[in-house]
Amino acid sequence: MYDVFEQVCNRIFNQLKTEEYLTISLRGENSQFIRFNRARIRQTGLVEDMSVSLKLIIGQRTASGELPFIGVEDPDYQSVFDELERLRKEVVQLPEDPFIVLPQPGDSTHEVHTGDLLPKDEVTDSLIPALKDVDMSGIWAAGNIYRGSANSAGQVHWFETETFSFDYSLVTPEEKMVKATFAGRHWNREKYNAFAADSIHKLEKMKLAPKKIKPGKYRTYIAPAGVADLIGMFSWGGLSEAAIQQGDSAFLKMRNEKIRLSRLFTLKEDFSGGTVPRFNALGEVAPEILPLIEGGRLVNTLVSSRTAKEYGKISNYADDWEDLRAPVMTEGALAEKAILEELGTGVYLSNLHYLNWSDRIGGRITGMTRYACFWVENGEIAAPIENMRFDDSFYNFFGPELEAVTDEARFIPDVGTYAGRELGGVTCPGILLKSFALTL
Amino acid sequence: MNKFNPKTILDNLTLAADWVGLRLVTETTTYRLVRDGKPQTNARETTRGIMVEVLADGQFAYYGTNRLDPVSIQQAAEKALEQAKLAARYAVHKFTVDARPAAVGEFISPFKRGVDTLSAGELNELLLKSNEALKVSDKIVSVNSLAQIVETEFHYVSTNGSDVKQNFLMVSSDFVATAQDGPVVQKRTDGGMLAKSHQTGMEAFDETAILDRCRIIGEQAVELLSAEDCPTAKTDLVLAPDQMMLQIHESVGHALEIDRILGDERNYAGWSFVHLEDIGKLQYGSELMNITFDPSVEHQLASYAFDDGGLKAERQFIIKNGKLVRALGGLESQIRSGVPGVANFRASSWNRQPIDRMANLNLEPGNSTFEEIISSIEHGVYMETNRSWSIDDYRNKFQFGCEYGKLIEKGKLTRTVKNPNYRAITTPFWSSLKMLGNRDTFKIYGTPYCGKGEPNQTIRVGHASPVACFENVEVFGGA
């Protein structure tokens, strides 16, 4: 696929006039999806989908277009050329944009991560037997994912990977649930069977009689999957420099009032794991590591080149949305085996659900507890809890209420598929909080 | 490319399947965003592809591809057939072709002015003017104006005789002002994020009306800076239609989707507190509550003639006088569950399989004027425009936040309040519905961004509602 992309881009760049600048980015996948309910198959299918996006710049004007890409050079070239012609006609009608960023020359990159995936016709017989005796609902997604970027200044970047993910929930007859995700590049039947058996073992704990707790502030442990959801909020009116400049960020207080979070909270962008490409649509390559919050201090935000130009900042080559692409939260000192003992009496939350800012400027996030969440008494799991709503500010739970951070960070893969299968995920440990507000 | 005819392709397919359907989708979305007096986005996205769906051994399977040549589609059909046969041994349900009725017809969404009547330059000019209108004060630190135009063509054919063409032209807009005074920041929009989404044409970009709205949005953003926080209380709550749309969506629509009730969504969006046996029995809310599934409302965002399984779309009462009488499920769900449903088996595009979606789901108007509602309240809060939403996986415990509030004191709207929020549990909340606005208060909204399904799908829904008053609701303010 790379060869077709490169050839089409080269032919198109050769068609550009002197005053024209162009970037072309590609996004695609070849995927198998199998949807399960009650450990049986609800829906199944295959999707091959690819598209390219063009951004044409002439003088101080720019317009962009996205169109299907099928991976066959001549028809793809023709449709991309037709789109270029359309953009040429449109761009002259548009107002000038003083913050346009021109594509720059630089080194090209090429990453291909070959996997060892299950053959498509072996998936059902491989997945179902290990979970056939439990009520399971979930989604299998597997295949190739492609990302590409090329610009008229000569850069070409390519990222290709083969991955699978089996994201599922196990359910007791009393409707208590455990969540698990088995994902990677190399399928291993033995590891999968052991993973599935562990999920079933965890489900046993959910069969204890549930405890209903009252709204209030509780000593709380949040496991890495829940912490990943909280950090995920920082991609939405969070660490974006543009959001801060436009009064739309939860980090305004940290920037303007120099408020500091807990010394135990450190967050960075770290691309060294190789799960996502470092290049953006403009062809810019982000630094391998970018510290964001160090020991509770905001040291960097995510700055795209356009934002840098508009607000007089230095770009760190964030993408247009200035969202987190490879977030890693630093581990702490709390041994995982000591979590229950250190929690003592309180709430153990494995997962959170449906988060939203309830007061963005105040850093307040609301959401639900979900899946394996327990009441813990004197260092021992006493009962699963009924789901509770939380509503609390990260200025509290990543601030003075953060008591300890576990000593092992986990990679929580992004299994989202809205615009196609996503790449990457959040790497983070669990957090022990002196208090956390449960409200309903 | 434009001469591609799925019927011809279907006629030439060679496949040992019990049924085959082809759904060709072409969709072009144009985004134009002007922020702080400068163009930020002028983008057009086109997606075009075909969903090949087959039935074999009682199992449906699909192959979505954007390779629109006969050889590729033949191969896609063969691979889909292979998937269906492999999956059939583990099928949740053995379907027959009854799940895909033969459907023939056309639908063209209503509009007065086509896309070509407004150039890119003219629309940018309007958005620039609207930016200026939003910036009513130096305290407005950022403004943006967004126009989104979607042109969609569906053509669905099947081996049992379906031939359905549906063409849609849809326009969404939003105008946003962010005001700041020291540490206080407040944002006001035009009814919520893209809530002004309708099946319409370029007549939606009426300059006078837009500029008038923008000035009010800017003024209210500034007004909120000096407003007190919404009080914490249990009190009467009056919700404007641009908040009711979210209330209906989250606490009625998703809860009543039959595929959720059957457990398909348990690994993602969640389950439902509603059980199949509740249909026909459950008192969901007060007797004022009448909810309809209505794909026939002119200009509403999710109006259509047939769903993606070929079922003819018709208006149905879902909740009548507070009682749940029908749920939201297409034919597959109706066959699996044995309960009555509606024509809402819909896919977001050619690359996703249909699932149960709510489409247009409306709260029918009552008899009270807005003035009658307000004047009947001794103490309460009036809230407009959703800004925050979260609900649990059973659709029970919700917390919603709004942009703009007013105190109601002794039968009158008095002081403005900022950061108004409320939280409650679904059926007690709807049971507390004590007054409902008349048709004069009834407004139609929609959103292009309802997320659901595995693999994930974003789909368009429409919600219309009058002003509604609920008693004894927990309200509160900001951090």
Q: What is the pLDDT of residues B321-357, one digit of tens each?
A: 999 999 999 999 999 999 999 999 999 999 999 999 9
pLDDT tops 90 at residue A82: yes
Name the residue among A262, A298, A293, A221 with its Cα closest to residue A402.
A262
Question: A2-165 — its CATH code?
Answer: 3.30.2290.10
**Percent over 90 (pLDDT), chain B:** 99
Residues of chain B with CATH 3.30.2290.10: 6-226
Residues of chain A with C-beta less than 8 angstroms from the C-beta of B99: none
Q: Count CB atoms within 10 A of the CB of residue B222.
A: 19
Candidate from A246, A363, A439 with C-beta closest to B141 = A246
pLDDT, mean of residues A142-149: 98
* Residue B91, strand partner residues: A41
Q: Report the length, in residues, of chain A.
A: 440
Token pair, residue B175, equals 């105008």
Q: Which residues contact B450 (CB under 8 A, 6 or more apart)?
A: B249, B357, B358, B458, B459, B460, B461
pLDDT, mean of residues A24-45: 98
* CB–CB contact B67 A368 (8 Å): no
The residue whose two tokens read 């930016």 is B131
pLDDT, mean of residues A314-323: 97
Torsion sign, CA atoms B305, B306, B311, B317: negative
Torsion sign, CA atoms B346, B322, B464, A355: negative
3-state SS, residue A210: coil
pLDDT tops 90 at residue A95: yes
DSSP B247-272: HHIIIIIGGGBHHHHTTTTTTTT---
- The pLDDT value recorded for residue B2 is 54
Report whether CATH 3.40.718.10 matches the domain B6-226.
no
Mean pLDDT of the residues in chain B: 97
3-state SS, residue A349: strand
- The pLDDT value recorded for residue B444 is 98
> How far is the first Cα of chain B from the last one, in angstroms, to the nearest whole number?
55
What are the extents of the domains in chain A?
Answer: 2-165, 216-438
Ramachandran angles phi, psi of B282, nearest 5°: -70, 125
User: Given CB atoms, is A19 within the 8 Å cutoff of chain B?
Assistant: no
* CB–CB contact B91 A418 (8 Å): no
Distance from C-alpha of B148 to C-alpha of B30, rounded to nearest angstrom = 6
pLDDT tens digit string along B138-186?
Answer: 999 999 999 999 999 999 999 999 999 999 999 999 999 999 999 999 9
User: Given CB atoms, is A20 within the 8 Å cutoff of chain B?
Assistant: no
Q: Is the backbone peptide bond immediately before B428 cis, with ω within 30 degrees of 0?
A: no
Residue B129, classified by CB atoms within 10 Å of its CB into exposed (0-12), middle (13-18) or buried (19+), is: middle
Q: Count CB atoms within 10 A of the CB of residue A185.
A: 14
**Percent over 70 (pLDDT), chain A:** 100
pLDDT, mean of residues B81-92: 97
* CB–CB contact B456 A418 (8 Å): yes
pTM of structure: 0.96
Q: How would residue B478 be classed by pLDDT, with cut points 50, 70 and 90?
A: confident
Q: What angle do CA A420, B69, A22 make, to 5 degrees?
A: 55
**Percent over 70 (pLDDT), chain B:** 99
3-state SS, residue A223: coil
Residue type, B8: T
pLDDT tens digit string along A212-239?
Answer: 999 999 999 999 999 999 999 999 999 9
Candidate from A32, A93, A440 with C-beta closest to B423 = A440
DSSP 8-state secondary structure symbol assigned to residue A186: B
DSSP 8-state secondary structure symbol assigned to residue A403: E
* CB–CB contact A68 B48 (8 Å): yes
CB of A409 closer than 8 Å to CB of A429: yes
The residue whose two tokens read 């569950």 is B337
Distance from C-alpha of B190 to C-alpha of B199, rounded to nearest angstrom = 17
pLDDT tops 70 at residue B1: no
CB of B463 closer than 8 Å to CB of B245: yes
pLDDT tens digit string along B233-254?
Answer: 999 999 999 999 999 999 999 9
pLDDT tens digit string along A3-22?
Answer: 999 999 999 999 999 999 99
pLDDT, mean of residues B396-410: 97
Q: Which residues contact A210 (CB under 8 A, 6 or more apart)?
A: A174, A176, A383, A384, A385, A386
* CB–CB contact B141 A167 (8 Å): no
Token pair, residue A192, equals 């999968």
Q: How would residue A156 be classed by pLDDT, with cut points 50, 70 and 90?
A: very high
Distance from C-alpha of A280 to C-alpha of A303, rounded to nearest angstrom = 12
Q: Is A25 left (phi over 0), alpha (psi -120 to 50) or beta?
A: beta
- The pLDDT value recorded for residue B322 is 98
The residue whose two tokens read 């982000």 is A286
Token pair, residue A321, equals 């949305």
CA-based nearest distance B373→chain A, Å: 28
Please state whether beta strands A135-151 and A20-37 pair in parallel, antiparallel, or not at all (unpaired): antiparallel
List C-alpha distances in Å: A73 to A9, A14, A49, A344, B401.
10, 15, 16, 63, 50
List C-alpha distances in Å: B280 to A416, A430, B284.
36, 45, 10
User: Given CB atoms, is A134 within the 8 Å cutoff of chain B?
Assistant: no
CA-based nearest distance A139→chain B, Å: 6
- The pLDDT value recorded for residue A83 is 98
Residues of chain A with C-beta less than 8 angstroms from the C-beta of B90: 40-41, 124, 128
CB of A126 closer than 8 Å to CB of A189: yes
